[in-house]
Amino acid sequence: MSDRDRNSGLLGTVFAILSGVIVSLAVGVWALGTPGNDPVGAAAVTAGTFMEGKFRWLRAEPENVPQDWVEISKTVRGGDPQRGATLIAQYGCGSCHVVPGVARAHGTVGPDLSGFRDRAYIGGVLSNEPGDLVDWLMNPTTHAPDTAMPDLGVTETDARHMASYLYTLRGS
């Protein structure tokens, strides 16, 4: 090996080390200069998440992918069952319906809502799925003009909460 080759190799190594130091200094100053900013860490997290997804996808087998379609078909987006129960008490549903889990809800004017999740129809006119249930709670008279159930002025948010509570009522 000639002197020239050795010198260029040495120069290359020094250049690589120097540029590395300069780049990491620059990144460090930039990162520290902005409070709460951690671009390197964030990039690492993003990369980690991405890779985790890939590994999961690689490892997944058909039987351990959770796909409970029945569960998903009875899930109301943005519905909180706890708030739903409170709202059911406030709108006075219990004066006509039996609603298990709601205090003093033992009405006998309309259908008993025990096991509502497993009913096929809502009010005898709509199929029992979340979108239709929310719509029914908001305006029952639109779907069943002769119904005795009044439009209670339920907002969509409230209807979603109440629907999600009704879907916690399972049949035997």
Partner 1 sequence: MGSTLDQFGSQTTFADAGIGAARTVWLTNSMSIISLVILAFVMLVALFAWRSTGGGRVWWIIGGGIVFPLITLSVLTVASATTLRSITGEAQPEAPVIEITAYQYWWDVVHHSEGRSLRDANEIVLPLNMAVTLQLKSNDVIHSFWVPSVSGKMDMIPGRINELTITATKEGRFRGQCAEFCGLSHPLMAFEVLVLPVEEYAAYLESLDEDARDAVTPQQRRGKEVFLTSGCTACHAVNGVSENGRLGPDLSRVGARASLGAGMWRMNRGNLAGWIADVGDMKPGAQMPSYNDLSGPDLRAVAAWLESLK
Binding site for partner 1 (CB under 8 A): 90-96, 106-109, 141, 145-153
How far is it, in rounded angstroms, from Cα 20 to Cα 69? 53
In the complex, least distance from residue 142 CB atom to partner 1, rounded to whole angstroms: 13
How far is it, in rounded angstroms, from Cα 64 to Cα 67? 9
Tell me which amino acid residue 35 is: P
Written as six digits, the tokens of 12 are 């290359």
How far is it, in rounded angstroms, from Cα 75 to Cα 58? 29
Nearer to partner 1, 81 or 123 (CB): 123
Nearer to partner 1, 66 or 145 (CB): 145
How many distinct helices (H) and strands (E) make up the chain? 7, 2
In the complex, least distance from residue 143 CB atom to partner 1, rounded to whole angstroms: 12
Nearer to partner 1, 37 or 141 (CB): 141
In the complex, least distance from residue 157 CB atom to partner 1, rounded to whole angstroms: 18
